[in-house]
């Protein structure tokens, strides 16, 4: 398929920063605020970020509720709990054995390098925090950025499959663009603003779930006027 990527310097086109802000406004207008992250404590956000990998959030909610019921929603308690107990509690979150290992891997780093204190970890600078998180087996780029933004409250833009699909259909990136390229598109064209990054990612998820699906519902789409996709089926 031919690339839909627009020429960055084509005439009459608004600048990228203006384009990204405009998309944000349209999404916010269409869907309203999303109130992310739906977790209470920073630790719960970390747990949710790992559990939600490739899984519907409704499943994650069940898993989190089970951890809370078992009084394990804090680093010290969860670190002490046997692996198979954790796995069985988070079963609704799918890939439960793998994810129990991931939680343990994170807790090991937290314990060994930060005295088990999340606030100590989050005191690192954004780049240091990011590489620290990426050093944990089971935490990749998206999960790391979600933790940085929604748990640590630092401005790292979160990119996911929805973001990639929506931006490629809009013609702003190639559909095979790498994670870092997409993240840079936002971070080099928007001010490092935590509430903005928070809401923007949440809105993209909402839009991708509800409308810009694999088979998109373009009729009445709030972004249709600036999208390169509607001329296809």
Partner DNA sequence: GTCCGGCCGA
Partner DNA sequence: TCGGCTGGAC
d(CA 182, CA 174): 9
Contact 182, 159 (CB under 8 A): yes
Distance of closest approach, residue 230 Cβ to DNA, in angstroms:
18
Name which of 214 and 220 has its Cβ closer to DNA. Answer: 214
Give me the residues that bind DNA (CB under 7 A), please.
36-38, 48-49, 52-59, 62, 91-92, 94-98, 136-144, 146, 150, 160-162, 205, 208-209, 213-215
Give 95's DSSP letter.
S
State both tokens at 144: 């790391």
Name which of 22 and 66 has its Cβ closer to DNA. Answer: 66
Name which of 17 and 140 has its Cβ closer to DNA. Answer: 140
- Burial (0-12, 13-18, 19+ Cβ within 10 Å), 149: buried
Q: Return the ∠ at Cα 17 (arms to 211 and 146), rounded to 5°.
A: 60
Distance of closest approach, residue 214 Cβ to DNA, in angstroms:
5
3-class secondary structure, 225: helix
Distance of closest approach, residue 80 Cβ to DNA, in angstroms:
22
Name which of 21 and 62 has its Cβ closer to DNA. Answer: 62
Distance of closest approach, residue 216 Cβ to DNA, in angstroms:
10
d(CA 34, CA 15): 27
Name which of 8 and 233 has its Cβ closer to DNA. Answer: 233
In sequence order, what are the residues at sequence separation of 6 or more whose Cβ sits closer than 8 angstroms to the Cβ of residue 97?
A: 87
Name which of 16 and 55 has its Cβ closer to DNA. Answer: 55
Distance of closest approach, residue 183 Cβ to DNA, in angstroms:
11
Distance of closest approach, residue 99 Cβ to DNA, in angstroms:
8
d(CA 198, CA 222): 20
State both tokens at 84: 């198979």
Distance of closest approach, residue 73 Cβ to DNA, in angstroms:
16
Name which of 162 and 185 has its Cβ closer to DNA. Answer: 162
- Write b or e for each residue in 100-123: b if 16 or more Cβ atoms lie within 10 A of its Cβ, otherwise e: bbbbbbbbebbeeebeeebeebbe
């Amino acid at each position: 398929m031919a690339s839909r990527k627009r020429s960055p310097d084509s005439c009459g086109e608004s600048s990228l920063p203006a384009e990204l802000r405009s998309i944000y406004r349209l999404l916010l207008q269409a869907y309203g605020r999303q109130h992310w992250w739906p977790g209470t404590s920073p630790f719960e956000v970390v747990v949710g970020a790992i559990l939600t990998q490739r899984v519907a959030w409704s499943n994650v909610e069940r898993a989190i509720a089970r951890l809370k019921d078992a009084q394990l929603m804090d680093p010290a308690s969860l670190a002490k709990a046997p692996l198979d107990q954790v796995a069985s509690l988070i079963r609704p979150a799918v890939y439960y054995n793998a994810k129990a290992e991931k939680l343990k891997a994170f807790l090991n780093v937290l314990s060994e390098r930060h005295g088990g204190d999340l606030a100590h970890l989050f005191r690192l600078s954004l780049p240091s925090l990011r590489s620290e998180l990426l050093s944990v087996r089971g935490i990749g780029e998206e999960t790391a950025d979600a933790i940085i933004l929604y748990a640590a409250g630092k401005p790292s833009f979160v990119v996911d499959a929805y973001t990639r699909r929506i931006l490629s259909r809009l013609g702003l990136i190639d559909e095979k663009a790498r994670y870092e390229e997409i993240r840079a598109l936002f971070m080099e064209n928007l001010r490092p603003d935590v509430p903005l990054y928070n809401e923007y990612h949440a809105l993209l998820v909402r839009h991708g779930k509800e409308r810009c699906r694999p088979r998109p519902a373009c009729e009445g789409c709030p972004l249709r006027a600036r999208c390169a996709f509607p001329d296809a089926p």
